[in-house]
Amino acid sequence: MSRLILDEPGKEILLMGNEAIARGALEAGVRVAAAYPGNPSSEIIGNLAQVAKEMGIYVEWSVNEKVAAEVAAAAAVSNMNALVAMKQNGLNVACDFLLNLNLTGIRGGLVVIVADDPSGISSSNEQDSRSFAKLADIPLLEPSTFQEAKEMVREGFELSRRTGNFVMIRSVTRISHARGNVILGPLPKDFPVPYFDTSKPLCPIPTSITHVALHRRFKEAEEILKDSEFNEYWGPEKPELLVITCGSGWLFSKEAIDILGLCSRVAVLKVGTTWPLPKSFLIKHLQKTRRVLFFEEIDPVLENNVAELYAQHNRELPLIEFMGKNSGIVPGTGELSPELILNALGKVTGEAVEFDENQAGQAKDIIEGYAPQRSMAFCAGCPHRASLWAIKQALSLDGRNGVLFGDIGCYALGILPTGFSQLKTVHAMGSGAGMACGFGNFHQFGVNQPSLAVCGDSTFFHAVIPVLVNAVHQRSRFLLVVLDNSATAMTGFQPHPGSPVDAMGQNTSPIVIEDLCKSLGLPTVVMDPFDLDGTIETVCEMIREQTGPKALILRQECALVSGKKQGKKYQVRIDPQRCIGEECGCDRLCTRVFKCPGLTWDRSEKKSRIESVICNGCGVCADICPSHAIVKESA
Amino acid sequence: MNHRTVGFLARSLPRRRARRIISVETKGAAVTQTSALDRLYEKVIAKGLCAACGACVGNCPYLVKYKGKTVKLDSCTRSDGKCYVYCPAAYFDPEPISQAIFNESYDNNGIGNFAEVKASRSTFDEILAVAQGGGTVTSLMGMALNKGLIDAAVVTSGKGSGGFAGGVVATTLEGVKGCAGSKFVGAHSLDALKEALQSGFTRIGIVGLPCQVRSLRKMQLYDMKDQDLKQRISLVIGLFCNWSFSVGEFQSLIRTRMGTKEIRKFDVPPPPANQLRVETEDGVQIISLDELKPLIQDACRQCPDMTSEFADVSVGMYEGRPGWNTLIIRSRAGLELVEMAIQSGVLQTEPFPVENLTHLRQASRNKKERVSRMTPEASGGHLACHD
């Protein structure tokens, strides 16, 4: 049984932040949960899906975040508690719906979890989603610990029900993906009866009424949250410096103050209810200091909101020096870290900590002894490498400098040498197809560069289908290449509408991408990208003379999935007698250009080598070796 | 004939000379590490000077032929790559090659060094039936195979891979006969030399256009991979050539015009006809050369060599005498080959009239002058020499 459904109130267990969020939802009696996978939020729904049957809840991996929000909202307007989770990009997708839902309000409980990815570790962008709460006039909570992650979700549902609107909780990577102790609460036995009251339609029009109602609900939330225990003060009563922080900055700040021996001089005020601000709590502590330093991740949201509060209440408050991102003491982008906070506190207080400059270098030396230096790369045997190789060859042969538009997914690495730098754009889900659709219609301006886009199979369903509809209608001359690895690989292999099972493991009818393309009238071809010559020829042929959109589905299972299911297809080895290595006629094509991590260069022997532990046995390298020195044999 | 005497007769230059050529070309600049492939691309391919001879594509995974074009697929780090060294358009120095083949200085008279010029024709009706002119090339190559002077022939087939003309390796007279007739296209046919070498043939005969002959001689001179090319490229029969079409565009136009009809032969009659005659299963169709001239490879407009000046023998049409060829015998190997052909009854020859020789020489000079006007640095029957 999953630890998430332990019905042992008071028991303390180790949970990942996202597990704590899922547990909080269960303790709040969540009935419906939906999301489109996106790190660092993915494990929330993943964990809820695993316990869906036992807990009698409905969980789905939706086609995209907007639909996920709408599915959850359907429950939340029907007297149920629902949760929708997303990463920062997903919020943008769901935004249109949510900025209507806030005006109509709900008739149950709805918590929107947005997990931001400071520094864009697993994202195309870096974005501070907290501004959305201000835009939407909805409450925003920010957990600083794993216990809070659980409690805020639980209380978020309560707040949502009491105010009749949804509540946003902002997590960050270091909360969602780190682990800490969490004390469990009770799991509910009774749930509100689901019912949609048809006598009260939900419509944001006229806004002259609904917008006023929204502000009223927001005021109610402010009143409820003003004494929230999620806002905490730690330190001397009258500190010479007050650190105001939230999220991961809370634990980092306390640790840094302790290391610097500043406990008697510096206090920390943690804001858990980031919006609306706990005004009286903040004013009370601002009255007792002259210097304030803000620590928060990504944008100076808290910093600006407190500055706004200070301006509104300046007659009650002393002259205060505000420091943070705006003053340049704290970097304006990226994650917080203990080191960053130590440095900033040291600068402000004059209590600089001495770092061992050699330590980082020593650590690097030690690590390099174990791990070879590699740039970011597709996995060994990844079908995307073969697909992009074929596209590269085809575009070179075509000779018209074709443009390959891309988007975010594993294949975004195609903008790097591992994908032969073939992708020329990376933006949002499906935007490569959208841009290619546009570019494919610029022939009237004399553009003769072929227009191509790649998208993954999951992305195809998420955001590309409307592009195809548009392309057919506009007769755009572009080629959509669906890199179908039959997985939402980047986020952890969640099912998507092309999968035969749903999030809860139930069988479902997979949607066949090529059938969908053909139904729109697109000339559609399905190829195995491991058939390099055939794929090259097909791409060349499909882009040669276009009068409208076409689709090419390059289908080959993700190497990680196929490796687990059936092991290596081929045993691959190098024939050293044939390998001519650096000589003219090869110049290390396999290790210098093709760059599969399963191939390495033996500097002493001046021959290529197969790293059998890493090689996934796809056998594609055997087909590119000009000397036929790479030999593949059925495993 | 002792096959060891066929082909390259004099000493070749050491390979370090190839490296020196490269360094001299980039003298004084900080680009001496530029890869050979990048230089080839910048100086030849990007400038439209590639004549699709095929010397580079058979040797390199980064260069391929595609619909008549030479395409660069990736970067390469080799500064001394064969692609550049063997390319006839990158640089060509006639002097060491003349010394090596003819044992004398390059003769800048218009048609290059030669021992004798004859009129010639095959004695076999079945060859004459498929030949462009007098069937001399097919007869000589077929005899060389039959007599064991060569063990393989690299020739150009009109039906290569992908429906495009391309090089093939023939080991029988029938195979050579199947490739008879002018193609009028750059066909990358030298890429088949790699196949012949890899197959282990040790005495290879090749029929080539002037650009291809030049490349073959460079290969023998520099022999970058120590493949014993001096000996293994045993016989080079050069063709007369004024220009070639880009095969992709030409075949596309022909298919548009002729549909699925079987093409039996192309012919460009001497001026002032100004036409291409296409012989199909339904008879002859005429296409004006004015329409076809835009399809002529840019490289051909800058080639000064009309008669394959560095071949063992060169063969072309005999203007005004259908069914006969002009045969220029150049090297000792060429002389021995033709003598054997006459003695064996394979070839019938007649003296070549002096006025015809004068006319041929003038036509060849005219080509050189046209090129010289276009590219002032080119002179003396060869592209600018950089060494």
Q: Does B386 fall in a domain?
A: no
Both B146 and B58 in one domain: the answer is: yes
Nearest CA to CA, how far is B255 from chain A (Å)?
Answer: 16
Domain A232-349 has CATH 3.40.50.920: yes
What does CATH list as the number for A383-564? 3.40.50.970
Buried b (16+ CB within 10 A) or exposed e, B9-38: beebbebebbeebbeebbeeeeeeebbbbb
- Whether the CB-CB separation of B20 and B64 falls below 8 Å is answered with no
Whether B142 and B291 map to the same domain: the answer is no
Residue A348 predicted with pLDDT over 80 = yes
CB contact under 8 A, A586 and B80: no
pLDDT at B139: 94
Q: What's the token pair of residue A473?
A: 């209608």
Residues in chain B, total: 387
Q: Which residue has the tokens 């004059």?
A: A350
Closest partner residue to A396 (CB to CB) among B71, B78, B225 is B71
Do residue B280 and residue B337 come from a single domain?
Answer: no
* Residues B186 and B264 both lie in one domain: no
Which pLDDT score, from 0 to 100, does residue B31 have? 43
- Give the domain extent around B51: 3-244+298-374
Chain B neighbors of A582, CB-CB under 8 A? 78
| Domains in chain A: boundaries | 3-225, 232-349, 383-564, 568-634
Residue A374 has pLDDT above 80, yes or no: no
Is B130 part of any domain?
Answer: yes
Is the domain of B268 the same as that of B195?
no
Confidence class for position A68, pLDDT limits 50, 70, 90: very high
Q: Residue B16's pLDDT is what?
A: 54
**B306 lies in a domain?**
yes
For residues A566-590, average pLDDT: 95
Nearest Cβ partner for B76 among A392, A397, A587: A587
Q: Chain B partners of A401 at a C-beta cutoff of 8 Å?
A: none
Flag if A584 and B60 touch (Cβ within 8 Å): yes
Angle of helix A207-225 relative to helix A88-104, nearest 10 degrees, comes to 110
User: Any idea which architecture A568-634 has in CATH?
Assistant: 2-Layer Sandwich (3.30)
Q: How far apart, in whole angstroms, are the C-alpha atoms of residue A556 and residue A335?
A: 36
Query: Is residue B385 in a domain?
Result: no
**A593/B74 Cβ within 8 A:** yes
- Contact between B51 and B300 under an 8 Å Cβ cutoff? The reply is yes
pLDDT attached to residue B385? 30
**Domain final residue pick, B295, B315, B330:** B295
Average pLDDT across each block of 10 residues of chain B; the chain has 387 residues. List them in order.
38 50 45 82 93 90 92 94 94 94 93 96 86 89 95 86 81 86 84 93 96 96 93 96 86 84 80 83 87 88 94 93 94 96 95 95 93 63 33
Task: Show which of B256, B272, B295 is a domain's final residue.
Answer: B295
| Mean pLDDT to the nearest integer, A381-392 | 97
Distance of residue B240 Cα from the nearest chain A Cα, in angstroms: 30
| Cβ-Cβ contacts under 8 Å, A583 against chain B | 225
Q: Say yes or no for a CB contact (<8 Å) between A397 and B82.
A: no
Among candidates A582, A585, A624 on the partner chain, residue whose Cβ is nearest the Cβ of B60:
A585
- Asked if A399 and B71 come within 8 Å (Cβ–Cβ), the reply is yes
Which residues on A lie below 8 Å from B225 (Cβ)? 583-585
Domain shared by B20 and B84, yes or no: yes
Instruction: Tell me if A5 sits within 8 A of A55, measured CB to CB.
Output: yes
Q: What is the distance in angstroms between the Cα of A514 and the nearest Cα belonging to chain B?
A: 28
Mean pLDDT of the region A265-270: 98
Nearest-by-CA chain B residue for A627: B61
Inter-residue contact A289 to A161 (CB < 8 Å): no
Residue B201 located in a structural domain:
yes
Q: What is the mean pLDDT of residues A541-565?
A: 93
Question: At a CB cut-off of 8 Å and minimum separation 6, what does B261 contact?
Answer: B280, B281, B282
- pLDDT score, position B378: 47
For residue B291, the domain's CATH number is 3.10.450
Q: How far is B65 from chain A (nearest CA, A)?
A: 8
Closest to A138 (Cα-Cα) out of A218, A69, A203:
A218
When CB atoms are compared, the residue of A399, A585, A587 closest to B77 is: A587
Q: Are residues B58 and B112 in the same domain?
A: yes
Q: Which residues of B touch chain A, with CB atoms under 8 Å apart? A: 36, 59-62, 64, 66-67, 69, 71-78, 80-83, 224-225
Per-residue pLDDT for A302 more than 50? yes
Q: Do B59 and A396 touch (CB under 8 A)?
A: no
Residues B304 and B224 in one domain: yes
The pLDDT score that the predictor gives to residue B243 is 87
Q: Do B7 and B234 form a contact (C-beta atoms < 8 A)?
A: yes
Domain count for chain B, please give it.
Answer: 2
Task: Output the average pLDDT for chain A.
Answer: 96
Final residue of a domain: which of B257, B276, B295? B295
pLDDT at B162: 65
Q: How far apart are CA A456 and CA A458, in angstroms?
A: 5
Q: Has residue B379 been placed in a domain?
A: no
Cβ-defined contact of B80 to A584 (cutoff 8 Å): yes
Do the bridges between strand B283-288 and strand B63-66 make them parallel or antiparallel, or are there none, so unpaired?
unpaired
| A584/B82 CB distance under 8 A | yes
Contacts of B60 in chain A (CB under 8 A): 584-585, 626
Of the pLDDT bands very low, low, confident and very high (cuts 50, 70, 90), residue A402 is very high
B382 within some domain: no
**Segment A446-494, tens digit of pLDDT:** 999 999 999 999 999 999 999 999 999 999 999 999 999 987 777 888 9
* Alpha-carbon gap, residue A580 to B5, rounded angstroms: 32
Whether residues B291 and B327 share a domain: the answer is no
Which among B64, B72, B78 is the nearest to A584, CB-wise?
A: B78
Residues B304 and B240 in one domain: yes
For residue A626, give the nearest of B61, B67, B69 by CB distance.
Answer: B61
- Whether domain A3-225 has CATH 3.40.50.970: the reply is yes
pLDDT of residue B380: 37
- Exposed / middle / buried, residue A1 (Cβ in 10 Å: 0-12, 13-18, 19+): exposed
> Would the CATH topology of A3-225 be identical to that of A383-564?
yes
Nearest CA in chain A to B61: A626
Q: Tell me the pLDDT tens digit for each residue of A505-514.
A: 999 999 999 9
Lowest-confidence pick of A29-38, A366-375, B90-99, B194-203: A366-375
Q: Do B73 and A392 touch (CB under 8 A)?
A: yes
Q: Find the residue in A nearest to B78 (Cα).
A: A584
Give the Cα separation of B241 and B308 in Å (integer).
8
